[in-house]
Amino acid sequence: MKKILKVLKIILILVILFICIIGGIFVYKGYSLYKEAINEMSIQEKIAEIKSKDGYTTYDKFPKNYVNAIVAVEDRRFFEHNGIDMISIARAVITDIKEMELVEGGSTITQQLAKNTYFTQRKEFTRKIAEIFMAFDYEKECTKEEILELYVNTMYFGDGYYSVEEAAEGYFGKNVSDMDLYECTLLAGIPNAPSVYSPTKNPELAKERQEQVLYKMVKYNYLSQEEADKVVNQAEEVIGETKNST
């Protein structure tokens, strides 16, 4: 029995050592990818480039409901963490292990900003690690409000709209600051899968995604259930009117 326990102990040590080595290799590759990206363009230069875009919208123009909708559905601890959310990462790791592939990322808004501005959309472990290093840089360089501001000015919203202002004007014919609750919650859900949730191409799926946003907003006490139900009813009316007009 003692020999068996000794063998199991040795095997366990070897497995842990193997995991540490593999993990170290991924961290090294991810850090190298991060350094390569940051050497090509610094965080300061990247921020200046984004802010120089036509139609760049500042945080003070965002309706409170829009900010709440984004945080609720994308990263509910955004204003609390330092760029990464260990709770979300742990949940994502468990899911990925079960599925034996990268199906859930656990990315924060800051990590998504890093991905959108420096890296590709391909799901790779090294890129995820590079994102983390870049997210820490963004958190050191920017306030939370500025990070959120940069994020929605670099997201794709479908139909050729590459910023929140373009999307508000294109979908609703108005400025971001004039969006109502229905529009805020609809727009907050689109970047998750723009080609799927575009309200002009897939209104039913856009509505389903909007309901997910509303569910999270109620869950995290940004809205009452009554307020959410009114938006759902409004969405149904809009879809009904669209069908009648075609």
Residues in Cβ contact with 206 at an 8 Å cutoff, skipping those fewer than 6 apart: 186, 189, 190, 197, 198, 199
Q: How far apart are CA 46 and CA 74, in angstroms?
A: 23
Assigned fold of 27-34+61-154? Penicillin binding protein transpeptidase fold (1.10.3810)
Query: What is the rounded distance in angstroms from the CA atom of residue 18 to the CA atom of residue 3?
Result: 22
Please tell me the least confidently modeled range out of 84-88, 176-180, 200-204. 84-88
Q: Could you give the CA distance from residue 67 to residue 187 in angstroms, rounded to a whole number?
A: 11
Q: How far apart are CA 202 and CA 175, in angstroms?
A: 23
Question: Looking at the domain that runs over 177-240, which CATH code has it been given?
Answer: 1.10.3810.10
Q: What is the pTM of this model?
A: 0.84
pLDDT (tens digit per residue) in 66-84: 999 999 999 999 999 998 8
Does the fold of domain 177-240 match that of domain 27-34+61-154? yes
- Going from N- to C-terminal start, the domains of the chain cover 27-34+61-154, 177-240
Per-residue pLDDT band for 1 (boundaries 50, 70, 90) equals: low
* Sequential DSSP letters for 13-32: HHHHHHHHHHHHHHHHHHHH
